[in-house]
Structure 1
Amino acid sequence: MSKQFASHADLEEKRVSFVKLSDNAYAYTAEGDPNTGVIIGDESVMVIDTQATPAMAQDVIRRIREVTDKPIDYVVLSHYHAVRVLGASAYQPRHIIASRDTYDLIVERGEQDKASEIGRFPRLFRNVESVPAGLTWPTITFQGAMSLWLGSLEVQLLQLGRGHTKGDTVAWLPQQKILFSGDLVEFDATPYAGDAYFADWPQTLDRLAALEPVALVPGRGAALTTPEAVAQGLAGTRAFIADLHAAVKAGVAAGKDLTAVYRDTYASMKARYGHWVIFDHCMPFDVTRCYDEVTAHPHPRIWTAQRDIEMWKALEG
């Protein structure tokens, strides 16, 4: 490969923040690295997304232990991507919860995704040897919606539509109007859309907005702690997805091949979004998936380590 993945140059350690959103909700963020959500109930703790390895999850656990000694009984997977799930064993939860769609994606493509992501993101999979053999499997699955009561605190797990993947799950605290969105929403960070549903994603974001969150923990980027910041995060993600989709559709309509569509779309998006975290890394994957959706593949094709390399060489070599 004549040019490495853009993420291979991303070796600088990020500054971690552990932000209190309420007496029950915290956001673990790290300057555009994948976020983790924490919900503290009356007798137990729930973690939303796990970090990429058990070794990296230890820093989340350390932060949790600074504010509570309650057991971490639940881990929620917002979707199936390895960077979100492979740290789960560190928490020793009683239950790992995911949507049935996420479970099905793990069955279908979990092994390939694991190899693909580890190859793309060396820093995010630091101490990858700490990941147990095999995959992270849910012990509870649901379809559409489920509620858990952490004592007097209700946590709703909701599938509000396809977007980042077909299995996207958000965690919602209806009593406090705090939302954990997973990668359906990013803030000052480029949405990874290699497994996305571009036509559906904006409508899914509208359903998130209809909840009227007063605070939101995105998949990447700073915690959004006011309704105004939440609206900004939703609008920014929606604009990125819509702009990229429109550019790709225009290129396909003009009869251009993927390489030409990629170059044109990158150029059209760079000025507005190029300063966002992982822009250069995500764009080849995002445009490839969008081109597939607009042409011949309504459902995402499986990314393998070999397909990653071939795609990157074709578009960035």
Structure 2
Amino acid sequence: MAKTFASQADLAEKQETFQELAPGAYCLTAEGDPNTGVVIGDDGVMVIDARATPLLARDLIERIRQITDKPIRYVLLTHYHAVRVMGASAYGAEQIIASDLTLDLIRERGRQDFESEVQRFPRLFKAVETVPGLTWPSLVFKDELTLFMGQREVQIRHIGAGHTKGDTIVYLPDCDVLYSGDLVEEGATPYCGDAYFTRWPATLDRLAAFEAKALVPGRGAALIGTAAVKAGIAATRGFLADLTDVVRAGVGAGKGLRAVYEDAMAALRPRYGHWVIFEHCMPFNVSRCFDEMSGITDPRVWTAERDAEMWRALEG
């Protein structure tokens, strides 16, 4: 019997946790749903990842208003995926910030990604009809940007490709809190459909060099303490290495995508099958890794049609 496509069967509401990691540094987590960060400076608020729709964004705004009445001045996009960006219009921010490579991806595949992700995650796109259109940054940087929110320094960095080519992190040096986006996951399967498997490990090395005291991953619980941060980065690295090893071996042996997928599921399910969205992510992950190990350097565009075709080929 074929599995339900992606996360279409995942309709149960998740328990949300709004947590203060250090003075003025918060995160909203929800049992493996996409995380959001909130940074409060002297003169305003930054939201890190905007949520999937304006409706979900307004839920976060209500939480922010319980702790501060300062204006939401900035929305920072850690990357371009629709579940992270389509709620941006609700905040009324002065600036929407993204890396130049993230802007490239929005131009190249933003519309296709939106349609694809709505099909994959119906629960996360409540009131999707209220999304006014693609989210476009108003402030774009190349490698790094430092903002001063009053006395609070906010370091925004593109430290290398991984989950996408434009991944962006946020670091607060006054309290050693790091927001990694989907470069790191905690108890959740990394989505690798737009990834760079051969570059992601080096990007994780640069991330680890911050030696943060707390890290907010893209999904899963916040990592508190340097030991937990180190372990979380190592777990993400381990998943990537294990998947790459299986797929590289299969491609080298001349196997087709379906056979490599079956090998990867058999090899990784015992160790990672309990991670959130494992069954959802693996067909996309193996497809992208198969491409990269076959010499296709940049990820191909996912469309709703390509999603369905791939799922039938691997899970039908």
Runs of 5+ in structure 2 lacking a partner?
none
One-letter amino acid matched to 1:218: P
Match of 1:26 in 2: 26
Match of 1:5 in 2: 5
> Does the 8 Å contact 2:25/2:39 carry over to 1?
yes
Cα distance in 2 for residues equivalent to 1:135 and 1:129: 12
Match of 2:226 in 1: 227
Cα distance in 2 for residues equivalent to 1:246 and 1:296: 15
Match of 2:202 in 1: 203
Q: Does 1:164 align with 2:199?
A: no
Residue 3 of structure 1: how far off its partner (Å): 4.6
Match of 1:152 in 2: 151
> Does the 8 Å contact 1:3/1:313 carry over to 2?
no
One-letter amino acid matched to 1:170: I
Cα distance in 2 for residues equivalent to 1:225 and 1:247: 32
What do you get for the CA RMSD once the two structures are aligned? 1.0
Q: Which moves more between the two structures, 221-230 or 278-287?
A: 221-230
- 1:37-186 matches, within 5 Å, as 37-132=37-132, 134-186=133-185
Cα distance in 2 for residues equivalent to 1:163 and 1:6: 22
> Does the 8 Å contact 2:34/2:219 carry over to 1?
yes
> Does the 8 Å contact 2:8/2:119 carry over to 1?
no
Cα distance in 1 for residues equivalent to 2:288 and 2:14: 29
Cα distance in 1 for residues equivalent to 2:134 and 2:166: 17
Residue 158 of structure 1: how far off its partner (Å): 0.4
Q: Deviations over 1:108-155 (max 9, x none)?
A: 0000000000011100111111211x2100000000001000000000
Runs of 5+ in structure 1 lacking a partner?
none
SS class of match (1:8): coil
Q: Which moves more between the two structures, 94-103 or 58-67?
A: 58-67
Residue 296 of structure 1: how far off its partner (Å): 3.1
Q: Deviations over 1:12-32 (max 9, x none)?
A: 100000010111100100000
Cα distance in 1 for residues equivalent to 2:240 and 2:264: 12
- 1:155-304 matches, within 5 Å, as 155-304=154-303
Question: TM-score by structure 1 length?
Answer: 0.98
Q: Which moves more between the two structures, 279-288 or 170-179?
A: 170-179
One-letter amino acid matched to 1:59: D
Residue 6 of structure 1: how far off its partner (Å): 3.5
SS class of match (2:8): helix
Cα distance in 2 for residues equivalent to 1:185 and 1:100: 21
Deviating above 2 A after TM superposition, structure 1's stretches of 4 or more consecutive aligned residues are 1-4
Task: Tell me the percent identity.
Answer: 63
Cα distance in 1 for residues equivalent to 2:166 and 2:122: 25
Cα distance in 2 for residues equivalent to 1:245 and 1:24: 39
Tell me the number of residue pairs that the alignment of Structure 1 and Structure 2 aligns: 316
One-letter amino acid matched to 1:152: Q
Q: Deviations over 1:80-119 (max 9, x none)?
A: 0000000001111010000000001000000000000001
Cα distance in 2 for residues equivalent to 1:273 and 1:207: 25
